[in-house]
Structure 1
């Protein structure tokens, strides 16, 4: 059962955003979330608590949001935000860019006592861009407003040639609903992606019975475990079970320990400001 919710559909075609997409495509990313990400994935801050371009690591804050220099260059995208969403609880406005990229399955807001509300609205996407939550894989269409269920393991993958751009809005408070204005009727059913069951042979190939996982390849090899979750019916957290089992088969206790620490960091427990180092 999918816990994420499609809240609305925005009339995104009424906004001329292509020139602003080019600005985002060319904008530099500082790599704050590299431990979680594989391939070309980046986060670009349009508004935060300080208005500083250098303030890029998400955290809750008190008070109103302020535009960054990037946000000031994207008036069309910011109009989409201000015309359809309330601003009193809105804390962060970001765009996630993904091209041939995947995120490690993760749980958001582990660092803080109270989770917020995270909405995502794809601005540029294709059917090759997918989200997952627990054992469900689904596609967010352009202009759909989704409340992401952030406290269960979830992930995203984009294998499209053109980079996916997704608007991410973070609001304070997890329980109070977000009032969305000027939306349009949803005309298509939610897009759930069916995946076949994994065969024993496929699992053996994934786990690397020949011991091809090494300390040097642990980071790059994790991607194939995350990819497998999108290709075969499985729970997102199984990614870490497979990864740890592959490490165990090498007989290297340090690799097993690192696999366990990465699981903890991504989906179980993470301190504010804590970083994982490959």
Structure 2
């Protein structure tokens, strides 16, 4: 399939996730408070929960490379079965972060990770709970990560995630130092299903015009909520992840408000072009 040939992210393995009784611990994650570190990039119900990092501090959420020992947070100590998934199947030598990303009826803005850092690491995701409505994208390809699949996410091209499900998708995210070194995986099982690429029709001119016109009255106060429609359309219609920003900037121009236009262009820069370490985007 054409989409698979274009996809830079890789399915590395499949874990025997059904052999782990995780339901009670996933409920703990459902009830865990999120500090809001990535609110500028997320729409709907998206949250990040840290199980282990370099400090052991639960509020230490924002990714950064570090040389400290991997240390469990308070949440990580409450989730021994999930942490056993990590320790049973992966070497901990290069592992720097263990987090769970929760996504329910929401989306992320297309973005490029590690813009702030000289060297990208290796990011792996393993869905612990998911549904057919929960999707990832990379450039122009949209694909689905099944429960227990181990994916190396290609983070340095525009990519995104979105879900229309009312049940939170919970994806275990492991960040390893060194982008060039392979990730060692133990105890995996043979995949039984092909990689799932989502076929989307081309957007019609009428659909795009309706999207642009719906945001003709964008103001600084409504810009953030307005962006969600652009992110959602990327998962429904064939388009490159970066095209979301082309649409959004064009809609901003139609508002005639120079502040709105400048902020739309700045959001594009922040998400996929250039970002300083510690920089935040203020809507």
Provide the rounded CA distance (Å) in 1 between the counterparts of 2:215 and 2:264: 18
Number of equivalenced pairs:
278
2:239 to 234, 248, 265: 234
**Other-structure match for 1:198:** 203
> What residue number does 2:165 align with?
160
Question: Is residue 146 of structure 2 the alignment partner of residue 118 of structure 1?
Answer: no
What is the SS of the residue equivalent to 1:77?
helix
Deviation by residue 1:242-272 (Cα, 9 ceiling, x = unmatched): 0000000111111110001000000000000
**In structure 1, C-alpha distance between the alignment counterparts of 2:60 and 2:223, rounded to whole Å:** 30
Any stretches of 5+ residues in structure 1 without a counterpart? none
Tell me, in whole angstroms, the C-alpha distance in 2 between the residues paired with 1:161 and 1:199.
Answer: 28
Residue 281 of structure 2 aligns with which residue? 276
Q: Shift of the alpha carbon at 1:106?
A: 0.2
Does the CA-based 8 Å contact 1:46-1:71 persist in structure 2?
A: yes
Partner-residue secondary structure (3-state), 1:131: strand
Q: Which runs of structure 1 show a deviation greater than 6 angstroms over 4 or more consecutive aligned residues?
A: none
- Structure 2: how far apart are the matches of 1:180 and 1:100? 31
**Counterpart of 2:221 in 1: which secondary structure?**
helix
What residue is the counterpart of 2:93 in the other structure? 88
Structure 2 residue corresponding to 1:169, chosen from 157, 161, 174: 174
Write out per-residue CA displacement over residues 14-55 of structure 1, whole angstroms, 9 at most, x where no aligned residue: 001000011000000000000000001000000000111121
Aligned residue number for residue 249 of structure 1:
254
Instruction: Using the TM superposition, name which of 191-200 and 211-220 deviates more.
Output: 211-220
Q: 1:214 deviation in Å?
A: 2.4
Instruction: String of CA shifts for 1:221-241, please: whole Å, max 9, x gaps.
Output: 000000111111000000000
Please show how residues 211-230 of structure 1 align to structure 2 within 5 Å: 211-230=216-235
Contact kept in structure 1, 2:136 and 2:159, CA below 8 Å: yes
* The one of 176, 187, 193 aligned to 1:188: 193
SS in 2 for 1:30: coil
Q: In structure 1, the residue corresponding to 2:222 is in which secondary structure?
A: helix
Equivalent in the alignment of 2:141: 136
CA distance in 2, matches of 1:73, 1:227: 34
The 3-state SS of whatever aligns with 2:171 is strand
Judge conservation of contact 2:121–2:179 (CA < 8 Å) in 1: yes
Residue 169 of structure 1 deviates from its aligned partner by: 0.1
Structure 1 length-normalised TM = 0.99
Q: By how many angstroms is 1:209 displaced?
A: 6.5
Rounded Cα–Cα distance in structure 1 between residues aligned with 2:33 and 2:126: 21
Shift of 1:210: 7.3
Q: Which runs of 5+ in 2 are unaligned?
A: 1-5
Contact 1:122 1:164 in 2 (8 A): yes
C-alpha displacement at 1:161, in angstroms? 1.7
Tell whether the 8 Å contact from 2:112 to 2:155 is kept in structure 1 after alignment: yes
How far off its partner does 1:212 sit?
Answer: 3.1
Q: Kindly indicate whether the alpha-carbon contact (under 8 Å) linking 2:218 and 2:260 is maintained by their aligned counterparts in 1.
A: no
Deviations 1:185-222 (A, max 9, x none): 00100000000001110010111177232222100000
